[in-house]
A = this chain, B = another copy of it.
Amino acid sequence: MTHHAKPRPFTLEELTAYLVDVFPQIWSRGDYSIDDVGPMSATVRLAYHPDHLRPGGTISGPAMFTLSDLALYVAILHELGRVKLAVTTSLTINFLRKPEPRDLIGRAKLIKLGKRLAVGEVALFSEGSDEMAAHATGTYSIPAKGDEGA
């Protein structure tokens, strides 16, 4: 694959600053943060906070959906640069085990990065656990060149 030969368009700090700028509702609160990015991959963290809880003390399904979507979005952004209009076209999530009342880590891996479509999967783990809490697969529409953000 030749995607990885090119220079990365972003450092981790630039990536975070860009996301805070473009999606302030999500990224300026500090709940979500980027742990790491790599070729075709990204790791995003959801800080533990009682507001994400359902009865029984686990992190909510919507919070897990959001973490999955963000981790895939960051992996795509890191590969493609400022594609601010990239759009989630579908997401399938399987909830496997109740997450612990700890930070939740989403490890995203892109399995296809085409001209029009990106597909990736995400494994969610409670920090320090090696049992997957949830697994998601997402598809993203890549805007054509002319539509990219400035």
Point out residues on A near B: beta carbons under 8 Å. Answer: 1, 22-23, 25-26, 51, 53-56, 60-62, 65-66, 69, 84-85, 87-97, 111-112, 116-117, 119, 121, 123, 131-132, 135, 137, 139, 141
Contact = CB atoms under 8 A, between A and B. Distances in A.
Count identical subunits in the complex.
4
B95 A88 contact: yes
A85 to B, nearest CB: 8
Contacts of A132: 111-112
B96 A112 contact: yes
Nearest to A132: B111
A112 B84 CA distance: 23
Residue among A62, A119, A135 with the most chain B CB within 10 A? A62
B111 A1 contact: no
Contacts of A90: 90, 92-95, 139
Contacts of A112: 94, 96-97, 132
